[in-house]
Amino acid sequence: MSKDNSQDEKGMDQYTEDVLERGISRRSFLSRTALGAAGVGLLGLGSVTAKNAEAADSSKEFAKSSDGGATLNFMPKPKPIAAKDIKTTLTFDVIVVGAGASGVPAALSAAENGAKVAVIQKHPMPVSQGNTGSGIVLATSDKAGIEALVAKLMNDNNHRCNPALLRQWAYNSGEAVSWVIDRAKKGGSPVVDQGSAPQRGIRTVNGYTVNYVTSFFGPKPYTTGDGMRALAKTAEKAGVQFFFNMPAQQLVHGKAGEVIGVIAKGRDGKYTKFLARKGVILATGDYQNNEAMCNYFIPDLKHFGRKQMDRTGDGFALAYWAGGVIEPIGHTKMLHDFDAGPASMCDMPFLSVNRKGKRFVNETVDMSLYNNYLRDAENAGHYSQVFDSNYMTQAATWPGKLVPPEGLKNYMPDDPAPKHGVFDSLVNTHVADTLEELARKLECDPATFVASVKRYNELCASRKDDDFGKPADRLIPVEKAPFYGIHRRMRISTLCSGMLVNENHQALNADGKPIKGLFVIGNLGGGFYGGVDYPLTVFGLSLGRCYTFGYMAGRHVAKL
């Protein structure tokens, strides 16, 4: 694509222009209503004008859809907080809202660059999740490889992302992730760099070499949550002040509408006003626990369980009412289950059956996309992988890594031996001597399950998958007891679409102009994904991006 095609006269990239046109912001609605009212006015239809004025009025209380037609009652306008209700006012250079995978790195990075920093956190401690976060080692990677990987990610994102932000991750993540590893270690974390080892499929891209730094906060039950708590210790030593149990309620604006601070609510119901000399960085994560918001932006999520809590999209409301623009409908979701059985077997194309016990998919589909087949209320993300005791030999050549029967016991809730390296409340692998018994353990309907296995075995015998077209070398029958099943439950790990930002991670308003004092990182930041599902091409892209943009935004705001 030539530069001339992708840029308009304002010098704006295609992605930004598109989000400005179709995204959700205060102005897009107000300007359209104003136009509508003016048009009607010309025709002299007084009563309709009045109606429109009423609609315009309600936009003062609630957010509006991009066409102004729908009231988004999940984003009410913050009510003014009286000066008498503000217990304390504190002033810092930089205020970070949210102590997760992007907020804690941002705070430390800002402090290391000389700023006086406060972190306001909703939870009683820093909270995040996951294990793996990754970046690219520039020194040992081909530039062509990095560009090839960026192109691959754009493809994964259905070309709906801002390439500049992908490149920013690609060219800065090596430095940022290594920095997180170093600083978390200083806070006592056992984090390790796994290098390129976990990135099996992408060590060469289009024939070019790419090398990785892969931070691993683990093994489970240790996670990035523990890692961010360790990093917060380093941050405290660097002078960062944390305020826990203090959800941010609203932003404080200067005369010109610029953002100059945040008001947060303590457990005693009293408010504290945090003023920021340089800027406020929002890092409040996603909105999976805000049901109305999910139903609006990603209706597909209706029947899925959640993996996080208290992610009610607070940062979206804060940024929207400050004039920010939310990426248009069609947000990106991330659903998986790496815990029920071995993660290394999750993409192996064994027979899969839905919650009732019926085969439903060509199993070569990635686990991270299975959710699209299991959206209904009955399945609600549940399915089971099924195989027999020949799996170690019959699936030996498949991509992935088989765990032998002895190792599978670690994933079996019915096996009494103590578990290691897993969340023992979430393991869900089963073994049984008969198919009926296995069906019951997998919570399937035994008759349906047995019929599905019978049919599948016939297809395997014929070496042709007449039902779903799976390749013959992926057809292995389920015949020899004991039989195994992994009952996976796709739940929402995270949602990763957000607010429109520029390359400084500064929020843009509906005119595409940066909002002074307001920065957005982590999954609250937009422009990085855009596909139906989060891509699992780079293992740990999500956390890697959170660390990288936190590291960069913290430094940028500190230096303002």
Partner 1 sequence: MKNRPIKKFIFALSLVAFLSGIFAAGVSASSSKKGKDGELGTLHASMGITCAQCHENVKKPAAVPMLKCVGCHGPTEKLAAKTAHVKPRNPHENRHYGTEADCNLCHHQHKKSVNFCLPCHQRFDFVVP
Binding site for partner 1 (CB under 8 A): 123-125, 127, 221, 223, 225-226, 245, 267-269, 305-307, 309, 413, 425-426, 491
Q: Considering only residues 75, 94, 101, 557, which one is a binding residue for ligand FAD as defined by CB under 6 A?
A: 101
One of 14, 65, 71, 129 touching ligand HEC (CB under 6 A): 129
3-class DSSP state for residue 371? Answer: helix
Choices 57-65, 381-389, 430-438, 534-542 (CB under 6 A): range interacting with ligand FAD: 534-542
Query: Which residues are within 8 A (CB) of 551 and not within 5 positions of it... i.e. 6 or more apart?
Result: 105, 106, 109, 172, 175, 176, 179, 180
In this structure, are residues 550 and 101 in contact, taking their beta carbons and an 8 Å threshold? yes
Rg (the chain; Cα; Å)? 25
How distant is the alpha carbon of residue 178 from its chain centre?
Answer: 21
Does residue 115 belong to the site contacting ligand FAD (CB under 6 A)? no
Find the shortest distance in angstroms from Cβ 358 to partner 1.
Answer: 22
Site string for ligand FAD, 220-259 (x = CB under 6 A): ---------------------------xx-----------
Least distance between ligand HEC and beta carbon 227 (Å)? 11
Residue 128 binds ligand FAD, judged by CB under 6 A: yes
Amino acid residing at 456: Y
Rank residues 72 and 335 by Cβ distance to ligand HEC and give the closer one.
335
Q: How far apart are CA 491 and CA 307, in angstroms?
A: 6
124 binds, among partner 1, ligand HEC, ligand FAD, none (CB under 5 to 8 A by kind): partner 1
Closer residue to partner 1 in complex, CB, 9/268: 268
Our finding on whether 306 is near ligand HEC (CB under 6 A) is yes
What stretches of 360-443 show up as alpha helix (H) in DSSP? 367-370, 391-394, 405-408, 435-441
- The stretch among 54-62, 99-107, 306-314, 529-537 that binds ligand HEC (CB under 6 A) is 306-314
Query: Which window, 73-81, 304-312, 328-336, 466-474, contacts ligand HEC (CB under 6 A)?
Result: 304-312
- What is the Cα–Cα distance from 102 to 123, expressed in whole angstroms? 15
Tell me, rounded to whole angstroms, the distance of Cα 312 from its chain centroid.
14
423 binds ligand HEC (CB under 6 A): yes
Q: Binding partner of residue 120 among partner 1, ligand FAD, ligand HEC, none, CB under 5 to 8 Å per kind?
A: ligand FAD
524: CB partners within 8 A, 6+ apart: 98, 282, 283, 284, 285, 286, 315, 316, 319, 498, 499
Nearer to partner 1, 338 or 456 (CB): 338
The entry of ligand FAD, ligand HEC, partner 1, none near residue 267 (CB within 5 to 8 angstroms by kind) is partner 1
Give Cβ neighbours of residue 448 (< 8 Å, ≥ 6 apart): 356, 357, 358, 439
Residue 468: Cβ within 10 Å count: 15
Nearest approach in angstroms of CB 245 to ligand HEC is 12
Find the shortest distance in angstroms from Cβ 119 to ligand FAD. 8
Give the 3-state DSSP-derived string for 523-540, with helices as H, strands as E and coil as C. Answer: HHECCCCCCCECCCCCCC
Closer to partner 1 at the Cβ: 190 or 305? 305
Nearest to 162 by CA among 493, 498, 492: 498
Instruction: Specify the residue for token string 């939870």.
Output: 123
List phi, psi (to 5°) of 417.
-60, 145
Binding residues with ligand HEC: total (CB under 6 A): 12
Of residues 23, 68, 118, 122, which one binds ligand FAD by CB under 6 A?
122
Q: Which of 515, 546, 553, 557 binds ligand FAD (CB under 6 A)?
A: 546
Contact status: 223 vs ligand HEC (CB under 6 A) = yes
Q: Does 494 bind ligand FAD (CB under 6 A)?
A: yes
- Report the C-alpha gap between 178 and 135 in whole angstroms: 8
- How far from 208 is each of 188, 202, 388, 397, CA to CA, in Å? 37, 10, 39, 25
- Rule CB under 6 A: say whether 52 interacts with ligand FAD: no
* Residue 132 in the binding site for ligand FAD (CB under 6 A): yes
Q: How many angstroms separate the CA atoms of 379 and 130, rounded?
A: 25
- 27 vs 419, beta carbon nearer ligand HEC: 419
Task: Give the pair of three-digit tokens for residue 382.
Answer: 């549940």
Stretch that binds ligand FAD, among 146-154, 306-314, 346-354, 472-480 (CB under 6 A): 306-314
Q: Taking CB under 6 A as the rule, does residue 341 contact ligand FAD?
A: no
**ω into 221 cis (within 30 of 0):** yes
- The listed partner (ligand FAD, partner 1, ligand HEC, none) that binds 31, CB under 5 to 8 Å by sort, is none
Write out 487-498 in H/E/C secondary structure. Answer: EEECEEEEECCC
d(C-alpha 71, C-alpha 74), whole Å: 9
If one asks whether residue 16 binds ligand FAD (CB under 6 A), the answer comes out as no
Residue 221 interacts with ligand HEC (CB under 6 A): yes or no: yes
CB-CB contact of 474 with 365 (8 Å): no
Which of ligand HEC, ligand FAD, partner 1, none sits in contact with 485, Cβ below 5 to 8 A by type? none
Instruction: For partner 1, give the closer residue by CB, 105 or 225.
Output: 225
| Beta carbons of 136 and 210 less than 8 angstroms apart | yes
Which CB, 174 or 357, lies closer to ligand FAD? Answer: 174
213 binds ligand FAD (CB under 6 A): no
Interacting residues with ligand FAD (CB under 6 A)? 97-103, 120-123, 127-133, 247-248, 283-285, 307-308, 310, 314, 493-494, 522-524, 540-543, 546
Interacting residues with ligand HEC (CB under 6 A)? 129, 221, 223, 225, 306-309, 423-426
